[in-house]
Structure 1
Amino acid sequence: MAATQTRPTLVIVHGGWHVPKSYNKLVVALEAEGYEVHVPRLPSTNQVRPPNADLESDTSLVRGYVESLVRAGRNVVALMHSYGGQVGSNALYGLGAETRAAQGLEGGVCHLIYMTAYAVPEGTAMMDKVKEFGNMDLVPIAFDIAEDGSCLSRDPKAFLIGPGPDEEFDEYLQTFVRWNGNCMYQASTHAAWREIPVSFIYTTEDMTIPFTYQKNFVGGLEKAGRKVQTFELHTGHCPNFTATEGVVNAVKVITG
């Protein structure tokens, strides 16, 4: 029992189209290993039409949520998925455990885990990377974007999930919701990875954030002087569902 009490608190920052329920399989597996897990719902998935919440709203929600944990003296590890990397990077600056310790404060974010997630510098939007790789022509093929900017994946089973346990597909697909796709065009203003230790979980069969993008993110972090611990899972964009054990194992290695 004493060992489980020393584990950090995990906060999952979910991706677009996902909601907390989308991570049930991963949450159950992590809790079985003694972790306390939080999955706050991002306002950009509230399905209001036209959308009334965006990257700024999501950033504010996650920052406030994690701030309440660290102020209570908790050590927090942020596990960020897909768009969640953009939100977490933007939200968690100044909350690092090392930064807080230097101020004589207990608690803080002790690690950032990017799970096939956007890890980019300040001033960069998700679509900036798509443009950089010359893939803007694929956007209307992958996403069903309405006039109000809200969107869905055109084929979530093929583009988002990829190969996985067929008997659970339908239940997982039913958790997806319409998301404010305008978030993909909004640039971040902060990069928490500059001050907090970083790991990256690669997904080599990813069709939403291709492996080449992921390696580009890590390369950028390393050029900025950050040491990045990496893990490689041979799965699609949703390892929380298709490679749950691999994600749990990575978290266990990172948190000791």
Structure 2
Amino acid sequence: MESRASCQAKAPRLFARSQLGASVAVFAALITAVAPTPGAQANTTAYRQAPCPTPGRARPTVVLVHGAWADTSSWSGTVSALQRAGYAVRAVANPLRGLTGDAQTVRDFLDTIPGTVVLVGHSYGGSVITNAAAGDPDVKALVYVDAAAPDVGETTEQLSGSGSALGADPGTLYDRVPYPGAPEKAADLYLKREVFVRSFASDLPRDTADRLWASQRAASTAAFTTPSKAAAWRTIPSWYFIATGDRIIVPASQQAMAKRANAKITTFAGGSHLTLFSHPEAVTRVIEDAICSVR
């Protein structure tokens, strides 16, 4: 199913030398400083101001999973929007250490949530929810926000797609830092300043992007090289938010993943890989569609 734009029919090649992620820390402190992307105003129409009716049933809880180089505050705008509309919402800390362990951390968190869940992942967080939701009968919907949705055996680093900024030489993309207890050959990665500003946060004002770059949280290379053990989108209804300005996971790659998941697709004109930060209400509307599907 698709809304607002037609899919590109040709699936992209998968690139082994690319890495996903969305990076942000202290988003909450900066959210008021973000200027809307010119030309994208039509996509930010108001979301519903009250919860959709669910007669005789408890409403689902929305659980949000951030991507690489980010923390739970990357969802601050979305949390505020969902709470204003009357929905229950939680954002869970993603360890960013390896796909299998990160997914288990999220699964353990889900076990503490009573009732049904709408599970949302941004960027690398999409790979995490793809694994964490597998076999969990309480997860009724998956929402991918500029995210990866791997199949079994695929790694996150394969899914950025042709033309991604992450297809360049890793030495020009990342600052690599060792960390205690790292698996063999693994290290923490930080995005270099110009990559972050020009490709990662390309729809944000320069001063805002600079502050987000300076406060980024590292992600282990193991997060991107671990093969997916599950593909929850095969059995759980899925939604996909795709920003056409994403230079990290290119729209064609996202379209291909969304189509094979039979997801309901919303294409946002403009934005960047951080559209959840620059246009949280547009993202909230897609999450709300998923909430209202739960019966």
Match of residue 127, structure 2, among 86, 102, 126: 86
Residue number in structure 2 paired with 1:20: 72
Partner deviation per Cα, 1:170-219 (whole Å, 9 max, x = no partner): 55445521111221111110111111101100111001111121112123
CA shift, 1:164, in A, is 2.9
Residue number in structure 2 paired with 1:49: none
SS, match of residue 217 in structure 1: helix
- Shift of the 89–139 alpha-carbon distance from structure 1 to 2, 3 Å rule, reads farther
Residue number in structure 1 paired with 2:219: 179
SS, match of residue 240 in structure 2: strand
Superposition RMSD in Å: 2.5
Structure with bigger helix share is 1
Letter of the aligned partner of 1:229 in structure 2?
A: K
Aligned-pair identity in percent equals 25
Is 1:229–2:259 an aligned residue pair?
no
Which of structures 1 and 2 has the larger relative contact order (alpha carbons within 8 angstroms, sep 6+)? 2
Q: How does 1:158-173 map to 2 (within 5 A)?
A: 158-164=198-204, 168-169=208-209, 172-173=212-213
CA shift, 1:245, in A, is 1.3
**Which structure 2 residue ranges, 5 or more long, are not aligned?**
1-49, 179-185
CA shift, 1:128, in A, is 2.6
Match of residue 191, structure 2, among 153, 157, 175: 153
Is 1:129–2:159 an aligned residue pair?
yes
**Which structure 1 residue ranges, 5 or more long, are not aligned?**
45-52, 97-107, 222-226
Residue number in structure 2 paired with 1:30: 82
Match of residue 149, structure 2, among 110, 113, 119: 119
CA shift, 1:121, in A, is 0.8
- Partners of 2:71 and 2:228 in 1: how far apart? 21
Partner deviation per Cα, 1:27-56 (whole Å, 9 max, x = no partner): 112211112221111122xxxxxxxx3222
SS, match of residue 148 in structure 2: coil
TM-score between both structures, scaled by the size of structure 2: 0.70
SS, match of residue 241 in structure 2: strand
Letter of the aligned partner of 1:114 in structure 2?
A: Y
Partner deviation per Cα, 1:109-167 (whole Å, 9 max, x = no partner): 1100011111121010022335x748675151333334652101123222222213567
- Shift of the 4–31 alpha-carbon distance from structure 1 to 2, 3 Å rule, reads farther
TM-score between both structures, scaled by the size of structure 1: 0.80
SS, match of residue 39 in structure 1: strand
SS, match of residue 67 in structure 2: coil
Letter of the aligned partner of 2:173 in structure 1?
A: A
- Shift of the 40–246 alpha-carbon distance from structure 1 to 2, 3 Å rule, reads same
Return 142-151 or 195-204, whichever deviates more: 142-151
**Contact 2:51/2:86 (CA < 8 Å) preserved in 1?**
no
